[in-house]
Structure formats: structure tokens, C-alpha cells
Amino acid sequence: MRTRIRRALVVTTAGVLGAVGVLSLAGTANAASTLGASAAAKGRYFGTAVAANHLGEAQYASTLDTEFNAVTPENEMKWDAVEATRNSFNYGPADQIVSHAQGKGMKVRGHTLVWYSQLPGWVGGLGTDDLRSAMNNHITQVMTHYKGKIYAWDVVNEAFQDGSSGARRSSPFQDKLGNGYIEEAFRTARAADSGAKLCYNDYNTDGQNAKSNAVYSMVKDFKQRGVPIDCVGFQSHFNSASPVPSDYQANLQRFADLGVDVQITELDIEGSGSAQATSYGKVVNACLAVSRCAGITVWGVTDKYSWRSSGTPLLFDSNYSKKPAYDTVLSALGGTSGGGSGGGTGGATCTATYTRTDTWSDRFNGQVTVKAGSSAITGWTVPVTVTSPQRISTTWNGSPTWDGSGNVMTMKPNGNGSLAAGASTTFGFTVMTDGNTSAPTIGACTAS
């Protein structure tokens, strides 16, 4: 079936594809030496919160594009940003982030649909029935707008109280719709975009405590009753008063054992130097030790724009210099700093960088630049994974092999794969979207 589809498409798209057969771009990022590529080699993503109004700043954009392979809009998808006035939707700033991410092959986490905060006043003023329809309408409209583009949605955010009660937090939704609103939100979300993972997201749930126990009970109940939930987000905002809990990994694991993915969704750790680095290392190692820990998102690119900037909680300082915590995270992910030697045999290394080069209504073209590290290489392989129902219909400038599912292609050179030190080549492919325009995942380049 796959072969037949692919052949048919080669005929219909051959004219278009022929034109781009000899493109060659200089590579930029070293796969083994960035957060995103190192995480990808471990089957994870490494993302960051992004603010649309900083995308025009060159250093912000280049740090984002070089280091991260997932984004979460920091504020742009929240209710007050998207639907400040009832039934009048403003997607401009969020669209900017989504299209930037798609152009660079990054996953997008949608944040967030139902939350007590950043909620426009009109929502709190509604009566019960009206509130129910406003909530379901908001979820449906926003998810439909981004259908096929979002890896995971924080469907409900921060619905539980802090402290020992394990009770629900007061909000218009809780107070008027009762406990059932969370289930209703998830069911509405599944109906709106069945391709997105649906997450519950919260803070102070990072270790075992009354709040995380309450979330655990809810997720367990949802799984038992078939309420659609796919993932739980652990925000992981830490500082000296609220350090990384010693049972962090065990807590992630107990949720994973319920049959959901776990994600670190808003990681930041106040502090500096080696103390901060050590804490970051604990978080990364915990995620890597839990097979259902799908990835890590830090809550911002640089300390300069952090929501708690004075606590310098991120991996890049205000001048975009890498901090000790960056080095610890990279090395925990198995990456190497400074374009050094890992990732191949005998010092041979290579990097793979993705760009979307063309878009049509039913398909897009992707291009991967393969660049040799500081030694010459004689060959390379790069895995490319697309999301079902997407299909790669054709490829150029490489020799692909396929796994059984048809979603994973391993690309090798077409003929002689030798590249001089620092030299690069490209290969390309067409992805038939079938409604899903998310970018492919490019695995680490392996050199020989």
C-alpha cells in the first residue's frame, strides 16, 4: 500500500520536485552538541517556552532555532489572549509561534485551554449553562484552528489546590460546573483534535504529596473509565524553598505506570553555578530514566525574559551565554559541548539540520542539511520520522530504507557519502500531510 501511494505521488509531483534536486545549504547546528538533537537521540524532545514578541530579536531566534526542537507559547494561547471577547478569536501572536516552529521542525505544545488564571472577566460572569457552552466552544474553536499542528495540549491547567487538602481549586469552572468539568473538557478536546495528546498540567505535583496524590487519583479514575487523557505535565518550577524532590523520578514513574506519558512542561530552577546545574541534572536524569517521559520544556530561552528573571532560572544568561546548567543538561542528554567528538566512530561526527522549504495544501517539502564535524567522514545516516497519517511520498539526494510502519525512514548517501571536515550536503523529501502538518522528527546524524 505504502509503495503504491509513493509511486503514484512520484508521478504527480515529479515536476515540482525535480526543480529542487540540487539545493545545497550550509549547515548551522551540530546535532550532537545541541539540547534538541541530543534529546532526539534519546527519543525525547527538548523544548522551551517562547514569546512571539521576541522572535524578531536575532539572538533570541538563533538560540531558539539552534538549541530547541519544541516550543510552548508562553502566553499567546491562553484564554485572555485568544478569546478576550466572547466568540471573537485572535490567533495572530500564537500563529506566529506555530509557523516559526513548523518551519524549523519543532513540536508545539498548546498551553492552555481551561485555566482559572488569565481568564477574561466575561467568563466569570456567565451562568452555569452559558459557562459550559463557552468552555466547550473555546476548546473546540482553538483546537480546530490548530488541528494537526499541536503535539500535545494542556487541556486543563492547575485545577488543584496547594497544601494538604487535595481539594480542587476554586474557579468559575469548578464553582459552577463542579468536579465534572475536567472530564468534560477532555472529552470535548478529543472530539476537536483526535491527533493531539491531551495533558493535565500542574505545579507542586513534582513529588509525592497531597496535591499530586489528588491528581494521581483523578488520572487513575480517568484511565479506568475511558476518559481521554494521554499525558500529565509536571511544571517543575524549582528554587531553594521548593527544590527538586528526592522522589521526583518515582513520582513520574507512578504516573507513567497508569498508562499516560509524562512531560516536564515548564522547567526552571532559580540559582546559579554548580548548585543550579546539579538540580537541572537531576531533572534530566529522572526524565531519561522513565521511558514514558516524552520530553522536557524549559520555561524560557534566556534569563533576560524569564517570568522570574531575578532568580536567573534558565539555561542561557541574559547575554545568551550558556550557563553551567546548560553544560550539565547537555551532557546528561549524552551530547558533547563545543563540537567535540561523540556520535560516530573514530572521531567522525556529523550534524543534521531540518528546514521546511515548500508548502502546498496537501503536502510540504523538507530538507535536511548533513554537515561533517571537525574530521572528514566517509558516510552518514539520518533517521526521519513522520506522524501517521502523514506519509513520505518521495525523496531526493539520498537512499532511504523504511521500517515496517512506513513512518520512519533512515536516509543514507546516494553513492559516495564522503564529506570533508566541515563540508555539507542535503537531502530532501515530500510529506503528504493528510491533514497533519506537524514537522518530522529528525534523529541524530551518525557518521562513519
Active site residues: 158, 266
Residue 74 near ligand G2I by CB under 6 A: yes
CB of 117 to ligand G2I, least distance (A): 5
The answer to whether 39 touches 69, Cβ cutoff 8 Å, is: yes
Q: Which of 23, 147, 195, 307 binds ligand G2I (CB under 6 A)?
A: 307
Residues in the chain: 448
DSSP 3-state of 375 = coil
Find the shortest distance in angstroms from Cβ 235 to ligand G2I. 5
CB of 351 within 8 A of CB of 371? yes
Q: How far is the CB of 42 from ligand G2I (least distance, A)?
A: 26
Residue 158 or 261: which CB sits closer to ligand G2I? 158
| Residue closer to ligand G2I, measured from CB, 52 or 329 | 52
Rounded to the nearest 10°, the torsion over CA 217, 163, 287, 153 is 70
Helix, strand and coil content of the chain, in percent to the nearest 5, comes to: 35, 25, 40
Q: Is 184 in the site for ligand G2I (CB under 6 A)?
A: no
* Contact residue for ligand G2I among 118, 133, 217, 388 (CB under 6 A): 118
Q: How far is the CB of 229 from ligand G2I (least distance, A)?
A: 18
| Least gap, CB of 225 to ligand G2I (angstroms) | 27
C-alpha span between 22 and 367 (Å, rounded):
11
Distance CA 258, CA 300 (A): 30
Q: Which is nearer to ligand G2I, 307 or 402 (CB)?
A: 307
Rounded to 5 degrees, φ, ψ at 391 are -140, 140
Give Dmax over CA atoms of the chain in angstroms: 69
- Contacts with ligand G2I in 201-220 (CB under 6 A)? 203
Question: What are 202's strand-pairing partners?
Answer: 234
The answer to whether 75 contacts ligand G2I (rule: CB under 6 A) is yes
User: Long-range contact list for 319-325, CB < 8 A, 24+ apart?
Assistant: 320/59, 320/60, 320/63, 323/272, 323/276, 323/277, 324/273, 324/274, 324/276, 324/277, 325/269, 325/276, 325/277, 325/279, 325/280
109 vs 147: CA distance, rounded Å: 12
Contact track, ligand G2I, 226-255, x by CB under 6 A: ---------x--------------------
Asked if 266 touches ligand G2I (CB under 6 A), the answer is yes
Cell 469552572 -> residue: 173
- For ligand G2I, the closer of residues 54 and 176 by Cβ is 54
Q: How far is the CB of 339 from ligand G2I (least distance, A)?
A: 32
Q: CB count, 10 Å around CB of 402? A: 14
Task: Give CA separation, 10 vs 7, 16, 396, 397, in Å.
Answer: 5, 10, 11, 14
Closest by CA to 222, choosing from 244, 189, 270, 252, is: 189
Q: Choose, by CB under 6 A, the member of 24, 117, 318, 378 that binds ligand G2I.
A: 117
What does the block give as the cell for 139? 476548546
CB of 204 to ligand G2I, least distance (A): 10
The CB-of-325 to ligand G2I minimum distance in angstroms stands at: 19
Q: How far is CA 316 from the centre of its chain?
A: 19
Closer residue to ligand G2I, CB minimum distance, 74 or 206: 74
Gyration radius from the chain CA atoms? 22
Q: Kindly tell me which of 207 and 428 has the beta carbon lying closer to ligand G2I.
A: 207
User: What's the min distance (Å) between Cβ of 306 and ligand G2I?
Assistant: 8
Is residue 399 involved in binding ligand G2I (CB under 6 A)?
no
Residue 310 CA, chain-centre distance (Å), reads 26
* Residue of this chain nearest to ligand G2I (CB atom): 307
Question: What number of CA atoms fall less than 13 Å from residue 405's CA on the CB side?
Answer: 11
Return the number of the residue (69 or 235) whose C-beta is nearest ligand G2I: 235
How many residues bind to ligand G2I according to rule CB under 6 A?
A: 8
Pair 332, 432: CB distance under 8 Å: no
How far is the C-alpha of 394 from the C-alpha of 391, rounded, in Å?
Answer: 9
Q: Give the nearer residue to ligand G2I in terms of CB position, either 34 or 72.
A: 72
> What's CA 277's distance to the chain center, in Å?
22
| Closer residue to ligand G2I (CB): 75 or 357 | 75
Give the interface with ligand G2I as residue ranges (CB under 6 A). 74-75, 117-118, 203, 235, 266, 307
